[in-house]
Structure 1
Amino acid sequence: MTNVFFYLVVGVLSVAFALRVPRLLRHWRDPLVRSVSLLLPLGAAVFFFAAPPTIAQVNTLTGIANFSAPLVYCIVTVASAALIHLTITWRGGPEDRRQAATRWCVGAYAVVCAGQLTLFALGDAPDERLRDFDTYYATTPYLREMIVLSLLAYGAAIGVLGRLCWRWSREVTGLLRTGLILIVTGAVLGLGYVACKLLAIGARWAGHDWDGVSTALAPNVSFVASLCQCVGFVLPSVGQGLTGWWRRWSQYRRLRPLWLTMREVTPYELVRIPWWSSLGRRHLRRTCDIRDGLRLLSPRTDRDARQGSQGHTTRPGAVRPEAARHVSMVTTALRTMSGTHPDGADGHLESMLAGDDDELVRLSEALRVLAVPRPGSDHTPGSPAVPQTAVIGGPHPDSPPAHAGRAER
C-alpha cells in the first residue's frame, strides 16, 4: 500500500465525520450517534498515524525512535474498543446489560493500552523502522510481547464484532442485514490481517524472512477490511435516511391536490415559507394548512354528508361563497372513502385530523381522481377540475378558482 492510500482513507473518513457533525450537535445525548461519530475520527487517526511519512514526523517531534509504534497500537486498541461499543449500542437491549458490557470493554482495553506503553518503555528499539517494525523487532524482549499483545487485542475485538453481527444478521432483513454482512466480511478480512502479521512474526522466530507478508499483503487486507466495515456501518443509516426522504417527498407531492383545494376554501391567506426551506419544513407546513382547512370545513362536510346525494344550495358559512365547489369536492371524496353511510364522512374526517398523514394522502388521491377534467372542458392549470356530479352548489364547475393566480409556496 502506497502512502496515497493511507491519506485517501483519512480524507474519506474525515469527510464522513464532517457531514455528521451537525447531527452530532443536535443529538449529542443519543448514544448511537455519539458512538458512530467517535468511530469515524478514530479510524481516520489510525490510518493517518500509520502512514510512513507521519511515523517519521512523529518520531522526529518526540525525539524518541519508533515512538509511533506504541502510539499507533494504542489508537488501534481504542478504535477496537469503540467498534465493540458501537455494536453493543447498535444492537440495543436492557440498559443495565449494555452499561455492564460497555464498562467491561472499556476496562479491558484500557489495561491493554497501559500494557503496550509499559512494554515499549521496557524494551529497546534504537533503530527507526517506518514499515517493518513488527518483523524487525519480533525477537526483541518486551517489544515482541507488545506486538503480539496488540495484534491479539485487535483480533479479539474483530472476532467479537464479527460474531455479534453474524448472529444479529440472522434476525433482521433489508439494508440492516446487508450492512451487517459487510461488517462480518470486514471482520473476517481483519482476522486475515492479524494472521498475516502473526505469520510473518512467527517466521522471524523460526529464522525465516517472510517480511513481505507483513509489509505488503497485510496493509492491503487491512484497507479492504476497513472499507467493508465503514460501508457496513453507514449503509443502514444512509439507506433509512434516503427511504424516509423519498417517503416524505412522495407524500408531499401527493398531498398537492388536497392542499390546492384547501387554499381555495380557507378565508385567510396561508402562511408563506421561503423557497429554500427544507423538505421537512415544507411538508409540515403543507400538512398543517390541510388540517387547518379540514377543521374549518368539518361542520359543513358533516352536514353535506348527512344529506347524501340530494342536491341543495350551499348555505353561507365560514368559507367564501365562490369556494362552494371545493367544499363539495371534499364532501364527495369523503363519501367515496367512507362508503355510502351518512356518518362515514364525519368519522373519516375525525380520524384524519387525529391520525397520521397517510389518511390525508388517501383523501388527496380521491380528490385527484374526482378532479380529472372532462373532455372539452376549459380546465385552469394548477387548480383541480370538478366533475358535474360532484357539484352541490356554487359557481359553474368549469369556472376558474378565485385564487388560481396565487403561486404555491
Structure 2
Amino acid sequence: MQDVMYPLCALINFTAFIYKVVALRRNGRDPGTVALAASFLFITATFALATPAVWERVDAALGVPNITALIYQSCVIIYTVLIQMMLLFWMHPTTKQAWRAGRWRLILGVVTLPLMALFFSLAEVDEQRTRDFMAHYAGLSVLSIYVLVYLVTFTIGRIDIVRLCLQYAPLVGQQWLRRGLHITWVAGAIGIVYGIARFADVIAPAFGGDPTRWEPVAQLGALGTNIGTIIGLTIPSWGPHLTRANEWRRRYRDFRRLHPLWATLTAAYPDIRLPGMVPSRYAVARHPTHVGLWLDRMVVEIRDAQGQMRDHPSVVEAGGTARALGVTAGLKDGALEAVVQASQIAVALRDAPPRPAQTSARAAATEAGMYGGQGILGEVAFLVDVAQALRSSPVVARTLLTIEVRPAVSAAVTG
C-alpha cells in the first residue's frame, strides 16, 4: 500500500497544488485559496516522504534514522492547521476576523512542532522502520509522548474541521461548495478514526496488545481522510463541469427521443423546417455542442407542425375522443394531455393535409396549454411524453380506429 498508494496520493495532491497556484495567478491571492494551495503542498510532501523508498533516502541524506517520520508528521500538523484556517477564511466576512478566530489553532500548531522535535530527539529510534514506525515505537516511554503530542493536535484539528464544515455548509448557496464541505467533514471523521488507531498504538503494549494488528486500519484511515479531503476541497472547482456534462447528457437523451417525432412531422410539413437545422442523430458526434440548439429548434418545429394541423376536423375530433378514452383509462394531468396531443398528431398524419404555417410555435404551445409556466425544459419533457405515447399508447391506437378517415380529406390527400 505504501509503495503504490502513497506516491499516487502525492501525485494527486501535487496536481491539485498546481491547479490552485494557477487559480491564484488568474483570480488573485485571496487568503483562503493561498491556505488551500499551501495545504496541498504540505500533504504532497507528507505522502512523498512516507513512501518507503523516499524515506530511506532522506534518512541516509540527513544521517538520522527515522528523521523522515518527524518531518512528514510535522507536515501533517501544518496541513491540518492550514485546512482549519482556509475554512475560517471562507466563513468570516473579513480576513481580520478569520485570523482572530484562528488564533488558538495557530498557537496549538506552533507549540506542537517544537514539542514533537524535542521528544523525538530524546527517543531512541535507531532502527529504521519505514513501514511500521508508529506501531513499532509508539509503546516506548519517550516516543509515546511524542506520538501523543502529535495525535492530540491532529485529532483536535480533525474534530475542528468536522465542526467547521457542518457549521458552514448550511450557509452556503453554491451547490458544489456545499457538497464539498459535506465530503470534507466526512473525510475529517475518517481522520478521527485514524487518530484512534494511532492512539491504540500507544495504549495496546501496556495491556499486552499488538499494535501491528490494526496497522491496516491506520493506513486506510490516512488514505481515506486525505482522498476525501482533496475531493471535498477541490470539487467546487470541477464539480460544475460534472453538472454541465450531465446537462448535455440529458439534452442528448431528449434529442434522441424527440428526433423520430420531429423527423416524421418535418417530412409531413416540410415548410416548417429551418434549413441547416437539426440534422440526423448521428451528426451529434461531429457537433456535440450543437445539441442544445438543435433540441430547442426541434421543439419549435414540432409545435409549428401542431399549429398547422390543429384546426382540421379529424384532429379536433381526435382530441375529444382521446381525452374521453384517456380519462376512462385513469390518465390525468400531463399524462392525459400527452396522450391527447399524440392522438391528434397520429390522426393528422393520417388525414390532415399540410397548410401554410400561420401560428408561431409559442402560440401553438400556449394553446396546447403546456408551454406557459414550464419553460423550455418542461416543454421538452412534455414532448418526450407525447413521442412515447405516439409510439406505444393504446389510447392513441384506439383513437385512430375510432376516428374514421373523412372522404373529402382522403381525396385531398390523394390528390
- For normalisation by structure 1, the TM-score amounts to 0.57
Residue 101 of structure 1 corresponds to 101
Shift of 1:43: 1.6
What do residues 292-338 of structure 1 show as CA deviations (whole Å, max 9, x unaligned)? xxxxxxxxxxxxxxxxxxxxxxxxxxxxxxxxxxxxxxxxxxxxxxx
Matches within 5 A, 1:269-348: none
What's the CA shift for 1:38?
1.1
Whether the 8 Å contact between 1:80 and 1:154 is mirrored in structure 2 is: yes
CA shift for structure 1 position 28: 4.3
Contact 1:155 1:194 in 2 (8 A): yes
Q: SS of the residue aligned with 1:126?
A: coil
CA distance in 2, matches of 1:193, 1:33: 27
Identify the residue that residue 69 of structure 1 maps to in structure 2.
Answer: 69
User: Which residue of 1 is the match for residue 83 of structure 2?
Assistant: 83
CA contact (8 A) 1:186 1:226 kept: yes
Partner of 1:264: none
Residue 261 of structure 2 is matched in structure 1 by none
Superposition map of 1:118-157 within 5 A: 118-157=118-157
Query: 1:176 — aligned with what?
Result: 177
Where structure 2 has 5 or more consecutive residues not aligned to the other structure, the ranges are 248-354, 358-415
Aligned ranges 1:254-273 → 2 under 5 Å: none
Map of 1:345 onto structure 2: none
Shift of 1:5: 0.5
User: Is 1:6 the equivalent of 2:3?
Assistant: no
State yes or no: 1:227 paired with 2:227: yes
Separation of aligned partners in 1, 2:241 and 2:103? 31
Report the alpha carbon displacement of residue 19 of structure 1 after superposing the two structures with TM: 2.6
Query: Per the alignment, in what secondary structure is the counterpart of residue 142 of structure 1?
Result: helix
* Structure with more helix by fraction: 2
Task: Find runs of 4+ consecutive structure 1 residues off by over 6 angstroms.
Answer: 241-247
Query: Sequence identity, in percent?
Result: 23
State the 1:170 CA deviation. Answer: 2.9
Structure 2 contact 89–95 (Cα < 8 Å) conserved: no
- Alpha-carbon distance, 1:202 to partner: 1.3
Any conservation in 2 of the 1:3–1:51 contact (CA below 8 Å)? yes
Instruction: For 2:3, give the aligned amino acid.
Output: N
For 1:8 and 1:91, locate their aligned partners in 2 and report how far apart those are by CA, in whole Å: 31
**Aligned-residue offset at 1:148:** 1.1
Q: Distance in 2 between matches of 1:52 and 1:70?
A: 14
CA distance in 2, matches of 1:33, 1:123: 38
**1:351-395 C-alpha deviation (Å, 9 max, x unpaired):** xxxxxxxxxxxxxxxxxxxxxxx969xxxxxxxxxxxxxxxxxxx
CA contact (8 A) 1:27 1:33 kept: no
Whether the 8 Å CA contact 1:135–1:204 is kept in 2: the answer is no
Amino acid in the other structure paired with 1:5? M
Shift in alpha-carbon separation, 1:375–1:32, aligned structure 2, 3 A: farther
Shift of 1:164: 0.9
Q: Which residue of 1 aligns with 2:25?
A: 25
**Aligned 8 A contact 1:161 1:184 in 2:** yes
Distance 1:104 1:200 in 2: 28
Aligned counterparts of 1:132 and 1:73: Cα–Cα separation in 2: 14
Please tell me whether residue 203 in structure 1 is matched to residue 190 in structure 2: no
CA contact (8 A) 1:28 1:34 kept: no
1:93 CA displacement: 2.9
What letter is aligned with 1:97?
Q
Give the total of aligned pairs.
251
Q: How big is the shift at 1:87?
A: 0.8
**Aligned mates of 2:29, 2:19 — CA distance in 1:** 18
State the shift of 1:152 in Å.
1.2
CA-atom RMSD in angstroms: 2.7
Change (3 A) 1:176 1:22: closer
Kindly tell me: are residues 199 and 26 of structure 1, through their superposed partners in 2, closer, same or farther at Cα, counting changes over 3 Å?
same
Distance 1:122 1:155 in 2: 24
- Give the direction of change, closer, same or farther, for the CA distance of 1:142–1:2 in structure 2 (3 Å limit): closer
Give the letter for the 1:182 counterpart: I
Contact 1:186 1:224 in 2 (8 A): yes
CA, structure 1 residues 210+116, in 2 after alignment: closer, same or farther (shift >3 Å)? Answer: closer
